[in-house]
Structure 1
């Protein structure tokens, strides 16, 4: 009886001893974490540019990422101080909902916005995602690399030369989009002839403000004079002003100017009271006394075009009519925009 009891105890002791010697790993931290692309592009001055999140490759959550040693790829020198300097940036308030159909005045818009002090680049330590904002206009062009340290319950691991940031200037296609272009000539009896479509181009002249200077010019680059009635509305169809929510359009001797406040501009498709979706279309007429179409005499000129400006700044948008010549009628004041 005693020996049976001893045997049971002995067997139990062996089982317990075997279990207590087993080692259980505490978490897992992969050596293969990565961005989808290890080259991240920062387009200077854009309202918001986001990188991918870091793929943790099955690592045990929760985990954190820390960006370390941001430096110039070629020289190895530390990244310029502008990366870590706070700038005042106008942003929508956290939790606010901007409704372009209702928030149609600067006063209403400003209730949803505030000036925020922020660095041009913000690194999210939970996801590894990098966000660049308008303050990135202050960054120096170049290629920069950085290391990442990841930590979780397993411990910490350093990933050298983890990814590269290329600070570049946005292309005009990043800032400006043509959505439509066409034109006709029309007689006094409203008989229409299709002519060559206008050619739209855009030049950014400043990072400051939020302004479009719209010029309609002939094939030689001569602008018509909106202030003198050389560019007029076409019935009840939408004009430049139809898309302007916040400030009145200013007419000068050479241009139509609007301060659009917030990009993109136009914010949304224009929908008429009857439900017609005009998208971003703009219609104008240049009366026949101010224009000569090649080979089509005594016709009004009817340009139709649409565009969007995708980031704040000051732009000259030119609408060039390639087979039309301006007839000098009204004089233009020198030096007007």
Structure 2
């Protein structure tokens, strides 16, 4: 009996030895933290989260397959088209103390041809760059193929890419108080309603800001004609125009700022850190103030502080809600 038991046990062990042992685990439930991914067109860099492998045995690799529109039709060719973008060379970055001219700045920069989107086959992350400005708005679905030591699985419609425009907050921020005051000929100051500042992106070309000042009816003050002037030794637009001079036209002051953010650096004097503040004056000759006597000269004295975060062409408008242009 004992001999028969030993023979039976040997047979069981032999059978187990012949059975293939599963080499690891591959989940059926891999996912992104949020399967709605957002690509804000034209931002310098945006990266999605990694794919959560849900405990699957490493190493694993991913492939993006069948990128398509939400309605199932093929994705537009822009996803597979390379575009020229300007970037800093490897190991280079902006240095405010040495990069003082366009020529010096350009020694650190180069144009490269880049796809607007890259898929990392190790992490599953999607990376979008400035070339994403060329992607059509919309929703795009894709499948992911995952391979690890256990084999390969296809995960259909794993995530949706939402190509959207950046919000105003992505492009523009007011960085300090906006204020205004009437200054009469005696030097006394009376507060006025704060200016309304708006930023409108015109296009993705270049790096240009067009600064306009308008009255409550939208009539533009003329900086070229002296309708907008400096306020003593306080900083103005020109103090932040690091690479190119400010151009004054009949309707605006224009600066080609070359590189975002703009302003790049704060304006600091031996006695004062001005941050990004700008101060201006519109003489009483050119402006009438609501509810103030017309026989006394009151000038308009606005100040503001803002920063653009991305290259492109923008109109920044400063409107005075209680001022009428004469």
Normalising by structure 1, report the TM-score. 0.87
Q: Distance in 2 between matches of 1:302 and 1:273?
A: 21
- Which residue number in structure 2 is paired with residue 240 of structure 1? 237
Matches for 1:177-192 after TM superposition, within 5 Å: 177-179=173-175, 180-192=177-189
Determine the C-alpha separation between the residues in 1 that align with 2:240 and 2:304.
13
Give, in whole Å, the separation in 2 of the partners of 1:162 and 1:136: 21
Q: List runs of 5+ in structure 1 lacking aligned partners.
A: 1-5, 328-337
Alignment length (residue pairs): 318
Pairing 1:6-45 to 2, within 5 Å after superposition? 20=17, 24-45=21-42
Q: How far apart in 2 are the matches of 1:305 and 1:238?
A: 11
| 1:95 matches 2:94 | no
- In structure 2, C-alpha distance between the alignment counterparts of 1:100 and 1:57, rounded to whole Å: 45
CA distance in 1, matches of 2:141, 2:280: 51
2:31 is the counterpart of 1:51: no
Q: State the Cα deviation string for residues 26-84 of structure 1 (Å, max 9, x = none).
A: 2332222111111111222222222111112222222211100001111x121111100
1:187 Cα shift?
A: 1.9
- Match for 1:118 among 74, 96, 114? 114
Alignment of 1:51-70 (within 5 A): 51-70=48-67
Report if aligned partners of 2:239, 2:267 keep a CA contact under 8 Å in 1: no
Q: 1:17 to 1:275 in 2, by over 3 A?
A: farther
Q: Distance in 2 between matches of 1:244 and 1:19?
A: 78
Give the C-alpha shift of residue 22 in structure 1: 7.3
Corresponding residue for residue 305 of structure 2 = 306
Is 1:147 aligned to 2:146, yes or no? no
Question: Structure 1, residues 85-120: CA drift from partner, whole Å, max 9, x if none?
Answer: 111111122221222343232122212211111111
Question: Which stretch shows the higher mean deviation, 311-320 or 46-55?
Answer: 46-55
Q: Determine helix, strand or coil for the equivalent of 2:179.
A: strand
CA contact (8 A) 2:244 2:256 kept: yes
Match of 1:251 among 244, 248, 256: 248
Greater Cα shift, 276-285 or 313-322: 276-285
SS at match of 1:279: coil
Contact 2:62 2:122 in 1 (8 A): yes
1:272 matches 2:296: no
2:226 equivalent among 213, 229, 235: 229
Deviations, residues 294-323 of structure 1 (Å, cap 9, x unaligned)? 223411211011222222211111101111
Tell me how far apart the structure 1 counterparts of residues 167 and 298 of structure 2 sit (CA, whole Å).
38
Structure 1 residues 275, 71: CA separation in 2 closer, same or farther (over 3 Å shift)? Answer: farther
- Where 1:242 maps in the other structure, the secondary structure is helix
Correspondence for 2:198: 201
In 2, Cα distance between equivalents of 1:61 and 1:310:
39
- 1:3 alignment counterpart: none
Q: What SS does the aligned partner of 1:307 have?
A: strand
> Is the alpha carbon distance of 1:21 and 1:277 closer, same or farther for their aligned partners in structure 2, counting shifts above 3 Å?
farther
* Secondary structure at the counterpart of residue 166 of structure 1: strand
3-state DSSP of counterpart to 1:95? coil
State the match for 1:333 in structure 2.
none
SS at match of 1:289: helix
Distance apart, 1:25 and its partner CA: 3.1
Q: Partner of 1:316 in structure 2?
A: 315
Question: What is the CA RMSD across the aligned residues, in angstroms?
Answer: 2.4
TM-score for the superposition, normalised by structure 2:
0.89
CA 1:163–1:221 in 2, change beyond 3 Å: closer, same or farther? same
